[in-house]
Amino acid sequence: MRTILITGGAGGLGAALARRMNEAGWMVYVLDRDRPPPSSGGCWIPGDVRSFRANSLQAANVERLDVLVNCAGVNRAAWLADLREDAWDEVMNVNAKGIFLVTQACLPLMRRTGEDGFRTVCNVVSNASHVPMRTSLAYNASKGAAHIMTLQLARELSPEFTVFGLSPNKLAGTGMSRSIEAQTMRLRGWTAEQAADYQRKALLAGEETDPEAVAELLAWLLLEKRRHTYLTGCILPYGA
Contact between 10 and 43 (Cβ < 8 Å): no
Question: Each residue of 158-179: pLDDT tens digit?
Answer: 999 999 999 998 887 676 667 6
**In this structure, which amino acid lies at residue 167?**
S
**CA terminus-to-terminus distance, the chain:** 36
Q: What residue ranges define each of the domains in the chain, with the CATH number in brackets?
A: 3-172+210-238 (3.40.50.720)
Rounded distance, CA 192 to CA 194, Å? 6
Residue 171 confidence (pLDDT): 84
- Whether 19 shows a pLDDT value over 70: the answer reads yes
Q: Are 170 and 177 in contact (CB under 8 A)?
A: yes
| Cα dihedral 137/138/144/149 (nearest 10) | 170
Evaluate if pTM is beyond 0.85. yes
What is the tens place of the pLDDT at every residue in 68-109?
999 999 999 899 999 999 999 999 999 999 999 999 999 999
> Has residue 21 got a pLDDT over 70?
yes
Task: Work out whether strand 162-168 and strand 120-124 pair parallel, antiparallel, or are unpaired.
Answer: parallel
CA 186 to chain centre: 26
Contact 37, 15 (CB under 8 A): yes
